[in-house]
Amino acid sequence: MAFTEAERAAIFADVEEGGKDEAELKEAIQLIEDELDKGDPSSIQDAFELALSAHPAVILLWLKYLHWLDDSLRIPSQSVEVYERAALVNPMSSEIMQLALIAYERAGESPDRIEDMWEAAKNSIAEPDWGASLFTTYIFLLKRRVVQSGSEDFSIVPLLGPDV
């Protein structure tokens, strides 16, 4: 899960070359990679948290952390807390919002909490492709909610129409 060259380029695209922020960010990424290599979950979390406390606007750091939480740590309740912070810090990131909706569902969050995240997610749509992706995620989330409830009333999923 090391940072690829493309990810590094994206992270540093808006950082002044040779500046203090660049050096600190490089150190933070190196610490994360070192801890990932060692494999201690607590130390990995600490490294990500340290990096994000210093660089909260770097969306790719959040995404790497969130993917690590989901794929490696696999504690949905803990992931939800981080998704919540990521969404608050980066309210215009449709990718974070979409992943948060899925994480909330996976963690068994209440429909009200999911609806609150959905309202925030709708406001994050800046590009048509992300809008379509977010709406698709939400539609299938609603459909799963209906199926899991044992109901066949899909009226809460109006965008799907009668051929669910």
Q: Where are the domains of the chain?
A: 1-74, 91-164
Whole-model pTM?
A: 0.85
**pLDDT computed for residue 106 by the predictor:** 93
Counting beta carbons within 10 angstroms of the beta carbon of residue 117, is it exposed (0 to 12), middle (13 to 18) or buried (19 or more)?
buried
Q: pLDDT digits over 51-96, tens only?
A: 999 999 999 999 999 999 999 999 999 999 999 999 999 999 999 9
Q: Which of 56, 129, 130, 43 is nearest to 95 (CA)?
A: 130
Task: List Cα–Cα distances, 91 to 39, 87, 134, 138, in angstroms.
Answer: 31, 5, 14, 17
